[in-house]
Structure 1
Amino acid sequence: MTRHRHSNLAMLCALLALAVTAHAESPPNADDANRTTAAHPTGFARFRDTQDGAFDLSDLLLNHKGVLPVPTIITEPAVGYGFGLGLLYFSAPKREASNNAGSASNSADAKPTMSPPNITGVGGFFTGTHSWGAGLMHFHSWDDDHIRYLGVLGKVNLHLNYYGPQGNANAYQLSGVTVVQQILFRIANSPWYVGPRYTFFDSATRFGPLLPDGLHHLERDVRVGKGGIVVDYDTRDNMFYPSHGTYAEFEADFARGGFGSSNAFDMQSVKAYHWIELTPRWILGLRVDSGFSQGDIPFFAQPYVSLRGVSDARFQDRNQVTGELELRWNVTPRWALLGFGGAGKAWGKLHAFGDAPTAFGFGTGFRYLIARKLGLSMGIDVAHGNGQNAFYIQVGSAWR
């Protein structure tokens, strides 16, 4: 579940209904968590925050028993409008008693660290373009969040567009089964994580009677098997919608026959997000996202520019680089307004960097703090890009 998504559009769409909560953090405020655990509101009280009386889902999300349904409205221009539903089950990881005692003894004001919950989910989606997908995922952490595991299994059938050298849309169908396995290990007690990731996608591609320019030797059935290394750095105050801190990720993947791949190619991606608290009410966000590929890479797996207001995979080539700014105004403790804008390029095969068209997207939006104890906000972004308008229902930050 990355923002660059190294062009693995199939995996993205298959898990769209799950992505909003796949890496949910436990409440950042230990006192809130303890109070919530001690008392379980019932009836309408579970939808009210005990602090300000506002509509809030914190107690429902933290104390629900059984399976939590998560409906999602899909507004991605690449696949059209649609609906998704995820069923999620949360459980708290076991914590080391010695760690808790050590944390408490360091300082009178120290609070025990909060590990992310374990999550098991199943979900699916369907859109107006007859694209559909279904997925199963599990996220688990051990040793006070020193080990993180993510496993995904998904099936997709997508109706998309391929944009060739002239920028013309060519409709095609992409279907297949995808598997993701990842495990990350924290380096000592630092904000650094490192570990392996394996991705497999058994795909079938179908165009019309005529193939677009540049794809005359298209292989219709391709298996993509990639093994790689992931390095994460995370100092965000909240992973849903941060006010300060940095999240960065580097990934290097190698697709080879030994990993089950039909084609041999390499991919590298670097992304970094940084939030600056200019004042308590004004937050500036900075984003840089890049992807590079070499070798015999399938067209649908190439890096692409991802911006609000721009259809995913419209600007796609061997390499891509994207930059974006976002300015947020916290009007009240619950409501926030924001403006954003960015640009990017994809180049390497279809175009040289200087000749490649520039993708751009800008717009505005709002957020409502719907679960204060989780720091979870929801809202809508409205954006304009290259010749089109789009809107997005967002859970937390648009940068993932």
Structure 2
Amino acid sequence: MIVICFLKNNEDSTAALMTLGLWILVLVFLLCSPLEADAAGEVKGRQQSKNYVVAPIVVSNPAIGTGAGATGMFFYDVGHHEEGTPRSSAQLVGAYTHTDSYFVGLLNSLHMLQDQLRSKAGLFHAGIKNEYRDPLGGEADFSTDILAAYIQATYRIKGNWFLGLQGIISDVQYRPDTPQDADYLDRVGAANTTSGGIGPVVSYDSRDNIHYPCSGTLAEVKGFYKPSSWGNEANYAVGDVAVNHYIGLTEKHILALRAYGRTGTEDTPYTDKSRLGQQSDLRGFKSGEISGRTLLAGQAEIRWQITERWGAVAFGGLSKLWDDDLQALITEDIYYSGGVGIRFMLNTDQKINFRVDAAVGNGDNKGIYVGIREAF
């Protein structure tokens, strides 16, 4: 799970001082804390059966304010664990800002039967104070309350191929600040919804490590069917395809490539549109501000392991959106962004990185991303 933070044209000196102080705390935390431990707090080697990583989060966003939080992962084994197979993990993330925006999420990933069976289950709750740029002029201010539960289970059918199902239940509520903000929500088709969906998952995974791959490919095809009988506005379906490929250029340099596409049927509502900036496609854009029914994106990232714990990355990407209903929101023919980042390896056993990425995109978009594990 990744925490996304945006910085653009922030003239609030108090927020800037808060952000600087929080970043100092992050550096002190990374340099002084023992970050690999078992349940008793002792540092162990690669044969440890349980361990965890924790990291602070700095949030600085003119839309949702300035604040802080934390994220952590706990690793454990279900049954007998074989060397070279992924370990199960539980991850918790949460943050709060001075504008009363907050989010909290819990994700549990299971690898069972020597990685024959994989399962993911997550619960997410957020209350976000949004401030979007309106292409017709001015800004749209509204609050979004989200509660969602997700589950996925896949079984290894042959070699590196997995087949399974996924399901989701979500509740999304919009609260505009003014009648003008309500007009914006009506124009883009944003409506309160409580709905659910189910669909297939097909994946191919030949990565040498699920957290920090140096070689191999992860390809996934996933979809949801969301019938009106489950609370949706109409019967519709959405689907996405993602291919991540990793090439070890040298012992310390990795080229990571990602291609991503997502689309929905004609009746796909605004709450389920493809969103630029979501799932790191592309970094540098505020998720939800630019939406469309169909999205295509591609990224390339060079990863450099400078020392055993410290690393750096450079990345860039392109994206294209289509949607006749939301054409006013799509202000560019092609969206692009690029940036750099630093890495600090919190856990050398599982190869879990704490990451900070800074990205710049066209249309005066900027972003800072803070979290654990890689963008893709």
Matched, 1:274 2:245: yes
Aligned to 1:264: 235
- How does the TM-score come out when normalised to structure 1? 0.72
- Tell me the percent identity: 25
Q: Is the partner of 2:271 in helix, strand or coil? A: helix
Distance (Å, rounded) in 2 between the aligned partners of 1:308 and 1:379: 13
Aligned to 2:304: 329
More strand by share: 2
Distance (Å, rounded) in 1 between the aligned partners of 2:39 and 2:76: 19
Tell which deviates more after alignment, 252-261 or 221-230. 252-261
Aligned to 1:372: 348
8 Å CA contact 2:147–2:170 kept in 1: the answer is yes
8 Å CA contact 2:193–2:231 kept in 1: the answer is no
Matched, 1:130 2:115: no
Aligned to 1:25: none
Q: Is the partner of 1:226 in helix, strand or coil? A: strand
The alpha-carbon distance between structure 1 residues 41 and 95, as it changes in their structure 2 partners (threshold 3 A), is: closer
Aligned to 1:201: 170
State which of 77, 83, 106 in structure 1 corresponds to 2:68.
Answer: 83
8 Å CA contact 1:147–1:185 kept in 2: the answer is yes
Aligned to 1:54: none
Matched, 1:315 2:290: yes
Distance (Å, rounded) in 1 between the aligned partners of 2:302 and 2:336: 17
8 Å CA contact 1:380–1:394 kept in 2: the answer is yes
- Spell out the pairing of 1:33-112 with structure 2 (5 A cutoff): 46=43, 63-64=50-51, 71-74=56-59, 79-86=64-71, 89-95=74-80, 112=83
Measured on the aligned residues, the alpha-carbon RMSD in Å equals: 3.5
Aligned to 2:367: 390
- How does the TM-score come out when normalised to structure 2? 0.76
8 Å CA contact 1:362–1:383 kept in 2: the answer is yes
AA paired with 2:286? S
Distance (Å, rounded) in 2 between the aligned partners of 1:379 and 1:292: 29
Matched, 1:302 2:273: yes
Distance (Å, rounded) in 1 between the aligned partners of 2:322 and 2:252: 39
The alpha-carbon distance between structure 1 residues 384 and 128, as it changes in their structure 2 partners (threshold 3 A), is: farther
The alpha-carbon distance between structure 1 residues 380 and 94, as it changes in their structure 2 partners (threshold 3 A), is: same
Distance (Å, rounded) in 1 between the aligned partners of 2:89 and 2:286: 33
The alpha-carbon distance between structure 1 residues 295 and 77, as it changes in their structure 2 partners (threshold 3 A), is: farther
Distance (Å, rounded) in 1 between the aligned partners of 2:93 and 2:371: 18
Distance (Å, rounded) in 2 between the aligned partners of 1:42 and 1:266: 47
AA paired with 1:361? S
8 Å CA contact 2:346–2:353 kept in 1: the answer is yes
Deviation at 1:166, TM superposition (A): 4.4
AA paired with 2:248? E
Deviation at 1:155, TM superposition (A): 2.5
Deviation at 1:270, TM superposition (A): 0.7
The alpha-carbon distance between structure 1 residues 69 and 326, as it changes in their structure 2 partners (threshold 3 A), is: closer
Q: Is the partner of 2:186 in helix, strand or coil? A: coil
Deviation at 1:176, TM superposition (A): 3.4
Deviation at 1:218, TM superposition (A): 4.6
Distance (Å, rounded) in 2 between the aligned partners of 1:132 and 1:42: 31
Deviation at 1:320, TM superposition (A): 0.8
Distance (Å, rounded) in 1 between the aligned partners of 2:75 and 2:303: 31
State which of 88, 113, 134 in structure 2 corresponds to 1:143.
Answer: 113
Distance (Å, rounded) in 1 between the aligned partners of 2:266 and 2:128: 25
Distance (Å, rounded) in 2 between the aligned partners of 1:373 and 1:337: 19
Deviation at 1:143, TM superposition (A): 1.5
- Cα deviation digits, residues 131-178 of structure 1 (max 9, x gap): 213344433332112112222233221222455654864222111321
- Cα deviation digits, residues 296-347 of structure 1 (max 9, x gap): 3231321022222221122211111111111223333433222111121221
AA paired with 1:147? L
List 4+ stretches of structure 1 deviating above 6 A: 40-43, 352-355
Distance (Å, rounded) in 2 between the aligned partners of 1:269 and 1:2: 19
List runs of 5+ in structure 2 lacking aligned partners.
4-35
State which of 210, 216, 223 in structure 2 corresponds to 1:252.
Answer: 223
